[in-house]
Structure 1
Amino acid sequence: MNSFMDKLSEKIMPLANWLGQNRYLTVLRDAFMLSFPLTMFGSIVVVINNLPFFSDDLKGNLGNLFGNGQNATMSIMSVFVTFGIGYYLSKSYDVEGIFGGAVSFASFLILTPFFITLESGETISGVLSLDRLGAKGMFIGMIAAFLAAEIYCRITKRGWQIKMPDGVPPAVTKSFAALIPAVCTLTIFLFINAAVTGFFNTNLHDVIYEVIQQPLTGLGSSLPATLIALFFVQFLWFFGLHGQIIVNSVMDPIWNTLMLDNLEAYQAGKELPHIITKPFMETFTVGLGGSGMTLAVVLIMAFFLKKKQYKDVGRLALAPGLFNVNEPVIFGLPIVLNASILIPWVLAPIVVTTINYLVMAAGIVPPPTGVSVPWTVPIIASGVLATNSWLGGLLQVIDFIIVALIWFPFLKIMDKQADVNI
């Protein structure tokens, strides 16, 4: 068994390390984290404005008074992500990040239609639609930001800059140094937009949305794709690699887009289009004790196992586990490279996620509304906040029991084996 694990580790580790250290995936992760405080604020506003015991009239009045808290944050997430991509990618090339971010954002806006078409067919020009800056514009925003930042950095690295004499204030020097790379980059995007608009009478937003974003989000919202992603999270953690960061760097753009779709539908009073979203993954997987849903494992170790070493690890990991921080149990049990508990470690999240999906698909429990709940919010509270229903908290309790039932026999066997080894 150990020989098999060693060989498997040799095959998996290089790929996992490449994913974890890849420049573009790292930049994408950091760009989404840039928007995290803002989306948290927007989520709090949405939760307060739509508490389940409020009347529809009160919700409407609160929306009119405080709705901009959401409009200026979650609804325009593509703005922050595009700026973040430009900023962090430029920094990774040792180029001034603030100008890279500004150029990437401006390039995205150049490709964005400055008009909206009403249901009556009337076109209003000189305005930006919120959906272009939110869910619908997410993928074109990421593509434009990466391309713009790459072009800007390559031109900068070639030395095509206006150099100012000594004594000129640094802010002025940096602005002039960025002038030629910025003009060249923005000119390229201006011609791209002109070509698409002039020759094809459309815009890249709609092209990317139809050709790339819709198929990808459709795939990412499916149960099979979600279970595959979860499997790799657990499998990479087993080898001591942070599976959550590695897998999420690939899946987050899809899950966040699905989240924004749900939020828009929820705000409009429409049926929620997706079950799998970022809040679903955070609340009903990580929200049960961290990666692998280990809160139940910690409680079993602390109060139901006999060996002192396991009891101590369980009690030590209990407090952080309540806030979904589970490194103490992952490395203290340990879960890493512990073949005797590989089965429950991989199986429990897959079983629970499947049950959650089916329960929500059947309409028994409402899916997450699109409100972003911090992953550190304890069990039950996070479920209620994510779904705006007490049924979300109840489902987490049921999940907790299922995880405990899956893990319990394996932990008891491990406990007995410790006695034999002694």
Structure 2
Amino acid sequence: MGSKFTETLENILLPIADKLNNNRYLGALRDGFMVALPFIIFGSLFVVLANIPFLDKIISENALEEYQSILGPASASTLSIMGLFVIFGIAYKLTQQYGLEALYGGFAALASFIILTPQVLEGISGVIPSAALGAQGLFLGIFTAFVSVEIYKFFVKRNWTIKMPQGVPDAVAKSFSSLIPITLTLTFFLAIRAIFSYTSFETLQNFIYTLIQQPLTSLGSGLIPTIIAVLLIQVFWFFGLHGQIIVNSIMDPIWMTLSLENLEAFNAGLERPHIVNNQFVDTFIVGMGGTGMTMAVILGIFLFTRSRQLKNLGKLGGPAAVFNVNEPLIFGLPIVMNPMVIIPWLLSPVIVTIVTYFAMASGLVPVSTGVHVPWTTPIFISGMLVTNSIAGAILQLVNLVIVVLIWLPFLRILDKQYFRTEQTTTKDQKQGRDDKIV
């Protein structure tokens, strides 16, 4: 029965995962966020430094304001305009996949996005609101990156380019070669801007934000959709597929937007609006030893098992798990295709997601500030940094205990099997040595 169910799931999920993994747009989306990651982490680091807990108790109010104003530009020039880095990264990677000049594809997307962006702030024209370059403009930026690269490719593939004679420097030849495709691409987006200026939305950004981005982010911030996403991550990993990459390719734009909105509220001293966001998943679910919160499994192995195989696996996987790398455990226990562990593997993240959600909804733990910490940051440190409170670290400890308790009966079953096998092997080896002596 279990084998048939596993086979049915495999037949359904593997083709879906294969298509998602090989989709050029999802690949470019994932890689584009990776391009922006160093800038996001840099800005997040200085947000943390600018808001060290209890700093206001140590220095005067004027000194604190001066200190925060000095560090403020680090966040303003990275996190607040994160959309620009993501757009360029997505377009660059997608153009690269087509074998075209990636640099020009990236800048064409960036210029197209700026053309579509509102350029009026409080009645002053020629000024771009920073919010439009961050969370509010992220979805428009993603769509613009995809569409602009496709238009750019359309004209390049049809040789609508200026050919320079031989002997012209390569940089000059490439610049003139891209002139017509880029001009036509930007003209297309200028026409789109003009069309929307005659509608009630005024800009395409307002249109996408109102009809697409807001509904999607509202959906993605809910508990049930989050549980479904977390479950899919676990199921894909059970079949040996990198579930986080597959699911995050779709969910990252939503979760990152929610994080940015939290960060804007945090910097403005307002209540953070979203419980679920990128840090909710990365820090309190995935970032506890890796996908499936396997730091708890390592802990359970050290505390409650006897078999040499599990003890050695714990020693091998423990140091990596501290930094949220868990491939040694996933393939060494194994978790992949192992029906003995499918129940705790799927159940643990769901329970922890629910506990974390209600801990924040009730106010016991502060909602994430939106700062992004490196995914290799050890637990307790990461929980404290993303919530700007020791309560975040305590919640991670509670989650760790919950996962240990869920896994414990299954670890004991595995331990008995492995221990019995080891005892039998040792007994057989001893008998063999005795027979040789005789």
Q: Sort the TM-score into its range (normalised by shorter chain).
A: over 0.9
The structure-2 alpha-carbon separation of the partners of 1:43 and 1:202, relative to structure 1 and needing over 3 Å to count, comes to same
Match of 1:95 among 97, 100, 117: 100
Tell me, yes or no, if structure 1 residue 113 matches structure 2 residue 118: yes
Q: Distance in 1 between matches of 2:361 and 2:101?
A: 48
- Kept in 2, the 8 Å contact 1:114–1:125? The answer is yes
- Kept in 2, the 8 Å contact 1:302–1:313? The answer is no
Rg (Cα) greater in structure: 2
Q: Deviations over 1:157-197 (max 9, x none)?
A: 11111111111111001001101100111111111100110
Q: Which residue of 2 aligns with 1:30?
A: 31
Q: Deviations over 1:95-141 (max 9, x none)?
A: 10000000001000110111112xxxxx1111110100000000011
Q: Which residue of 1 aligns with 2:55?
A: 54
Gaps of 5+ in 2: 425-438
Match of 1:104 among 106, 109, 129: 109
Q: Which residue of 2 aligns with 1:142?
A: 142
The structure-2 alpha-carbon separation of the partners of 1:292 and 1:57, relative to structure 1 and needing over 3 Å to count, comes to farther
* Residue identity in the other structure for 1:46: V
Q: Distance in 2 between matches of 1:199 and 1:2?
A: 57
Match of 1:78 among 80, 83, 106: 83
Aligned residue for 2:161, secondary structure, equals coil
Q: Distance in 2 between matches of 1:201 and 1:264?
A: 24
1:137-286 equivalences under 5 Å are: 137-200=137-200, 202-286=202-286
Q: Which residue of 1 aligns with 2:435?
A: none
Question: Following TM superposition, by how much is the alpha carbon of 1:268 offset from its aligned partner in structure 2, in angstroms?
Answer: 0.2
Q: Percent identity?
A: 50
Q: Distance in 2 between matches of 1:159 and 1:202?
A: 35
Q: Distance in 2 between matches of 1:236 and 1:214?
A: 28
Question: Following TM superposition, by how much is the alpha carbon of 1:201 offset from its aligned partner in structure 2, in angstroms?
Answer: 6.2
Tell me, yes or no, if structure 1 residue 7 matches structure 2 residue 8: yes
Tell me, yes or no, if structure 1 residue 413 matches structure 2 residue 413: yes
Aligned residue for 1:367, secondary structure, equals coil
Between stretches 26-35 and 149-158, larger displacement belongs to 149-158
* Residue identity in the other structure for 1:33: M
Q: Distance in 2 between matches of 1:288 and 1:302?
A: 17
Q: What's the C-alpha RMSD, in Å, of the aligned pairs? A: 1.1
- TM-score, normalised to structure 2's length? 0.93
Aligned residue for 1:67, secondary structure, equals helix
Q: Which residue of 2 aligns with 1:16?
A: 17
Gaps of 5+ in 1: 118-122
Question: Following TM superposition, by how much is the alpha carbon of 1:21 offset from its aligned partner in structure 2, in angstroms?
Answer: 1.5
Aligned residue for 2:198, secondary structure, equals helix
- Kept in 2, the 8 Å contact 1:148–1:185? The answer is yes
- Kept in 2, the 8 Å contact 1:289–1:325? The answer is yes
Question: Following TM superposition, by how much is the alpha carbon of 1:419 offset from its aligned partner in structure 2, in angstroms?
Answer: 4.0
Aligned residue for 2:92, secondary structure, equals helix
Q: Which residue of 2 aligns with 1:67?
A: 72
Q: Deviations over 1:340-397 (max 9, x none)?
A: 1100001101101100100100011101101101111101000000000000001101
- Kept in 2, the 8 Å contact 1:303–1:311? The answer is no
Q: Distance in 1 between matches of 2:362 and 2:8?
A: 43
Q: Distance in 1 between matches of 2:34 and 2:331?
A: 26
1:298-377 equivalences under 5 Å are: 298-377=298-377
The structure-2 alpha-carbon separation of the partners of 1:14 and 1:392, relative to structure 1 and needing over 3 Å to count, comes to same
Q: Distance in 1 between matches of 2:328 and 2:199?
A: 59
- Kept in 2, the 8 Å contact 1:368–1:386? The answer is yes
Question: Following TM superposition, by how much is the alpha carbon of 1:23 offset from its aligned partner in structure 2, in angstroms?
Answer: 0.4
* Residue identity in the other structure for 1:103: A
Question: Following TM superposition, by how much is the alpha carbon of 1:4 offset from its aligned partner in structure 2, in angstroms?
Answer: 3.0
- Kept in 2, the 8 Å contact 1:365–1:392? The answer is yes
- Kept in 1, the 8 Å contact 2:309–2:418? The answer is no
- Kept in 1, the 8 Å contact 2:259–2:277? The answer is yes
- Kept in 2, the 8 Å contact 1:50–1:59? The answer is no
- Kept in 2, the 8 Å contact 1:302–1:312? The answer is no
- Kept in 2, the 8 Å contact 1:300–1:314? The answer is no
- TM-score, normalised to structure 1's length? 0.97
* Residue identity in the other structure for 2:157: K
* Residue identity in the other structure for 2:120: F
* Residue identity in the other structure for 1:194: A
Question: Following TM superposition, by how much is the alpha carbon of 1:200 offset from its aligned partner in structure 2, in angstroms?
Answer: 4.2
* Residue identity in the other structure for 2:216: L
Q: Distance in 2 between matches of 1:345 and 1:308?
A: 22
- Kept in 1, the 8 Å contact 2:201–2:207? The answer is no
Q: Distance in 2 between matches of 1:26 and 1:114?
A: 31
Q: Distance in 1 between matches of 2:154 and 2:344?
A: 48
Q: Deviations over 1:194-224 (max 9, x none)?
A: 0110354611111111100000000000000
Q: Distance in 2 between matches of 1:302 and 1:246?
A: 32
Q: Distance in 2 between matches of 1:324 and 1:148?
A: 37
Q: Distance in 2 between matches of 1:61 and 1:339?
A: 58
* Residue identity in the other structure for 1:134: G
- Kept in 2, the 8 Å contact 1:366–1:392? The answer is yes
Q: Distance in 1 between matches of 2:247 and 2:9?
A: 18
Question: Following TM superposition, by how much is the alpha carbon of 1:418 offset from its aligned partner in structure 2, in angstroms?
Answer: 2.8
Q: Which residue of 1 aligns with 2:434?
A: none
